[in-house]
A and B are shown apart, each in its own frame.
Chain A
Amino acid sequence: MTTTQAAPALLTPAPAPRRRPGHGYRWSARAFVLPGVLVVAALMYLPFVWTSYLSLTEFNGLGDPEFVGLEKYREMFADAGFLSSLRNTLLWVVGTLVLPVGLGLLLAVLTHGLKGAFWYRLPFLLPYAISGVAVGVIWTFILQSGGALDEALTAVGLGSLVQRWLLDAPLNTIVMIGAATWQGAGVNALLFGIGLQSIPKEPLEAARVDGASGWTLFRTMTWPLLTPLTTVVVGLAIVGSLKQFDIIWAMTKGGPGTSSETLALTMYKETFVSNDYGLGAAIAVFLTVVTVSASVLYLRRQLGDPKGD
């Protein structure tokens, strides 16, 4: 079969027309894609459907789920704990956009074109390879009552600034965003750095010749040219902050009480601590809707660009 197909191709000097491989290979194609589709369907899509269904039920993990319609969603939006968790999550999203993203951009601009930029960036990149739990361990040690920060403040005569960092809301959420900034700012700097490097030199030079410089140059030229990458960084930051679990779990477990819980934690606790599977599922669905909407921001760009490697 292959030889008969090859013969006409040899006779035509023009490039062979793009065609699908033969019948046998078409069957192989299905076999090759099957394992991936199967495992993703079984362990990701099936659970997705199941959780969606459970959000419409009353279920404590034992016995059978009892269908209650949208009751759990009504309960969720009336729950003070959920609303406080929602506020904290919002604080995480906004805080992440201001701190790790803002600082990342600043670091990228500061190191751009600098000799030895790698070494200047290294201290900021190092924490990125450290897990969320280990970051939480370090920062708990720093922020606990009488910890490293309190000691340092007192030593330099700023003892009046000492706070119950991890005990009072919303301060505990804010300092945890600080810990996440410590972990993530370097990576955003790296991404913005790639963006700055890929900006074509000509328009910048032209603007410089026209007399633009410093802040004006950045605002009118660099920033607009950086937009595609900013979209990706912002999208990733939003999704990352919505999913943040590890640092909070390691530092406060959402406490004291539920004062520093976010949706990711509330879902976990409602399900596996309170055994209210229906409510946990409703929160999971809500979190998913928000996360997927945010993901569309950067995914559209990635999927539209198949050579993104």
Chain B
Amino acid sequence: MADRMRKAVLVALGLLWLAPVYLMLANAAKTDDQYGVVSVWQAVGVGGLLENVATAWTRGNISEGVASTALYSVVGPGLAVLVGAAAGFAIVALRLRHGFVWFVVIFAATVLPMQMLLMPLFIGYVETGLYDTRTGMILVYTVISVPFAAFVMRNFFTGIAHQVFEAAVMDGASAWRIFWRIYLPMSTSALVAVFILQATLIWNDLLLGLTLTQSAGTRPVMTALSALQSTYGGSTMPTVLAGGLLVSVPTVVLFLLTQRVFTRGLALGQF
């Protein structure tokens, strides 16, 4: 196919793909008086945007959701990369006996659908007092991030020559020191990549929030958005759209800035 033809098809499809984004922006920016009077396809400036965002932020409990989720999606993956890296280090550098078996034990957990875990997590969380707590949410988000972190870090450490480890051993360094001072600093790029991918995953999570939290102070942001949407009647469509816009900005910006990381992560089958 000629290049010009290809470009024409791509531009047409691309415009079609941007239409929902346009609709979201145009209508999140309408005041209550404008919405329903002006066609949804027509943009009328940004008069209502700030007010709609503010309404979603306060009345929709998005503000508390953002605070909780920011905490979850920083601490969760942060702990997970360390736990995953430690496991990878044990298997690759310390040559753990039956290392591959242990690796499969950790990694195979990723194939389980969340549905298989929800019920016991709910019951267990209620029994142990972790239900509807930020600690409980951090714990569960950390754990679901560990298998992928272990997977990537094990692969990454395989690429570090074992002589590095042996040389450090000859210098009398302890395993902990070698891990903390040599292997972790050498693998910053991989650690950051895993962190970004898992942070996005956690930011966008609905199901765990729905199952393991109930109060505004612990509920993650997507669960709050979902609640805002289903109670609309109380909140207008522009408010709901503004809420959707608000919670999408962080991940979209992160994605555009670190697209290469996502490309690599995708090829690893994370999403």
Contacts and interface: CB of A to CB of B under 8 A. Distances in A.
B87 A36 contact: yes
Given A39-B143, A126-B252, A134 B116 contact: no
A105 to B, nearest CB: 13
A37 B200 CA distance: 24
A137 B241 contact: yes
A36 B94 contact: no
Nearest to A28: B175
Nearest to B10: A120
A29 B94 contact: yes
A82 interface: no
A309 B41 contact: no
Contacts of A302: 268-269
A132 interface: yes
Given A36-B146, A40-B143, A187-B266, A138 B90 contact: no
A223 B264 CA distance: 22
Contacts, number: 310
Contact of B120 (A51, A139, A253, A298): A51
A253 B41 contact: no
A21 B147 CA distance: 25
Interface string B7-29: 10111011101101101100100
Given A39-B83, A137-B229, A309-B155, A32 B115 contact: no
The residue in A32, A46, A136, A271 that gathers the most chain B C-beta atoms within 10 A of its C-beta is: A32
A151 interface: yes
A65 B82 CA distance: 38
A256 B84 CA distance: 43
Contacts of B225: 133-134, 137
Contacts of B1: 110, 214
B150 A36 contact: yes
A280 B113 CA distance: 13
By size class, the interface of chain A is: 35 or more
Nearest to A309: B155
Contacts of B158: 306-307
Interface stretch (A92-100, A163-171, A199-207, A243-251): A243-251
A142 B19 CA distance: 10
B159 A307 contact: yes
Interface string B73-99: 000000000011011011100111101
A284 B267 contact: no
B94 A43 contact: no
B90 A47 contact: no
B267 A287 contact: no
Contact of B176 (A28, A39, A61, A264): A28
B190 A298 contact: no
Contacts of A129: 200, 248, 251-252, 254-256
Contact of A128 (B21, B147, B150, B255): B255
A158 interface: no
B223 to A, nearest CB: 8
A274 interface: no
Contacts of A132: 204, 206, 222
B111 interface: yes
B222 A187 contact: no
Interface in B166-206: 166, 169-170, 172, 174-176, 179, 190, 200, 203-204, 206
Interface in A142-187: 142, 147-148, 151-152, 155, 182, 186-187
Nearest to B23: A148
Contacts of B118: 267-268, 271-272, 284
Interface of A: 2-3, 6, 16, 18, 20-22, 24-26, 28-33, 35-37, 39-48, 50-51, 54, 61, 107, 110-111, 114, 120, 122-134, 136-142, 147-148, 151-152, 155, 182, 186-187, 190-191, 194, 214, 232, 235-236, 240, 242-243, 245-246, 249-250, 253, 263-264, 267-268, 271-272, 277, 280-281, 283-285, 287-288, 291-292, 295, 298-299, 302-303, 306-309
Given A51-B116, A51-B120, A133-B229, 11 more contacts: A33-B91, A36-B106, A37-B105, A129-B200, A131-B251, A137-B240, A182-B17, A190-B263, A268-B207, A287-B115, A308-B268
15 contacts: A28-B175, A29-B91, A29-B175, A32-B179, A37-B106, A45-B109, A123-B15, A126-B252, A134-B222, A236-B271, A245-B206, A268-B211, A284-B118, A288-B113, A299-B269
